[in-house]
Amino acid sequence: MSVDQDAASRGEASERPRVRVWDGPTRLFHWSLVILIALAYATRKANPDLVWHMRIGYAILILITFRILWGFVGSSTSRFSAFAYAPWTAVRYGIDFLLRRPRHFLGHNPLGGTVVFILLGLVAAQGLLGLFSYDDHTDLHGGPLTSKVSEATVALATRWHIWLFDILLIVIALHILASFAYAIWKREDLIGPMITGRKRRKDFEDQPEAQIASPLVALLCLILAAAIVLGGITLAGGKIG
Ligand code: HEM
Ligand code: HEM
Rounded (10°) CA dihedral 187, 92, 117, 86 = 150
**Is residue 33's pLDDT more than 80?**
yes
Tell me the ligand closest to 183's alpha carbon.
Answer: 1
Candidates 117, 154, 107, 123; CA nearest to 38 is 123
* DSSP state at residue 148: G
Confidence of residue 15 (pLDDT cuts 50, 70, 90): low
Q: How far is the CA of 21 from the centre of ligand 2 (A)?
A: 34
Answer whether 73's CB lies under 8 Å from 213's CB.
yes
Is ligand 1 within 6 A of the CB of residue 174?
Answer: no
Residue 5 CB neighbour total at 10 angstroms: 9
Please report, for the chain, the start and end positions of each structural domain, with discontinuous segments joined by +: 20-235
The residue contributing the CA closest to ligand 2 atom 31 is 130
- For residue 63, give every residue at least 6 positions away whose Cβ sits within 8 Å of its Cβ, in sequence order, or none: 29, 32, 33, 36, 225
**Domain 20-235 belongs in CATH node 1.20.950:** yes
What pLDDT score does 79 carry?
Answer: 98
**Is residue 163's pLDDT more than 50?**
yes
pTM of the model: 0.92
Confidence of residue 4 (pLDDT cuts 50, 70, 90): very low
Confidence of residue 2 (pLDDT cuts 50, 70, 90): very low
Query: How many CA atoms lie less than 13 Å away from 113 in the CB half-sphere?
Result: 24
Candidates 126, 121, 31; CA nearest to 80 is 121
The residue contributing the CA closest to ligand 1 atom 27 is 176
Q: CB burial class (10 A; 0-12, 13-18, 19+) of residue 113?
A: buried
- Angle, vertex CA 39, rays to CA 34 and CA 41, nearest 5: 100
Q: Residue range 59-69: average pLDDT?
A: 98
The minimum-distance atom of ligand 1 relative to the CA of 112 is 41
Q: How far is the CA of 159 from the centre of ligand 1 (A)?
A: 26
**Could you tell which of 58, 133, 233 is best to mutate to test the pocket of ligand 2, judged by most ligand atoms within 8 Å of the CB?**
133
**Could you tell which of 35, 39, 44 is best to mutate to test the pocket of ligand 2, judged by most ligand atoms within 8 Å of the CB?**
44
String of DSSP letters for 86-112: -HHHHHHHHHHHHTT-----SS--HHH
What pLDDT score does 241 carry?
Answer: 73
**Is residue 6's pLDDT more than 80?**
no
User: What is the overall mean pLDDT for the chain?
Assistant: 91
**Could you tell which of 28, 34, 206 is best to mutate to test the pocket of ligand 1, judged by most ligand atoms within 8 Å of the CB?**
34
Q: How far is the CA of 161 from the centre of ligand 2 (A)?
A: 6
The residue contributing the CA closest to ligand 1 atom 16 is 26
Q: How far is the CA of 125 from the centre of ligand 2 (A)?
A: 11
Lowest mean pLDDT among 13-22, 59-68, 192-201: 13-22
Q: How far is the CA of 69 from the centre of ligand 2 (A)?
A: 24
String of DSSP letters for 178-191: HHHHHHHHS---SH
What pLDDT score does 76 carry?
Answer: 98
Lowest mean pLDDT among 43-57, 63-77, 166-180: 43-57
List, for residues 88-138, the tens digit of each pLDDT value: 999 999 999 999 898 999 999 999 999 999 999 999 999 999 999 998 766
Q: Give the CA distances from residue 125 to residues 28, 67, 201, 231, in Å, rounded to whole numbers and listed in that order.
A: 21, 14, 36, 18
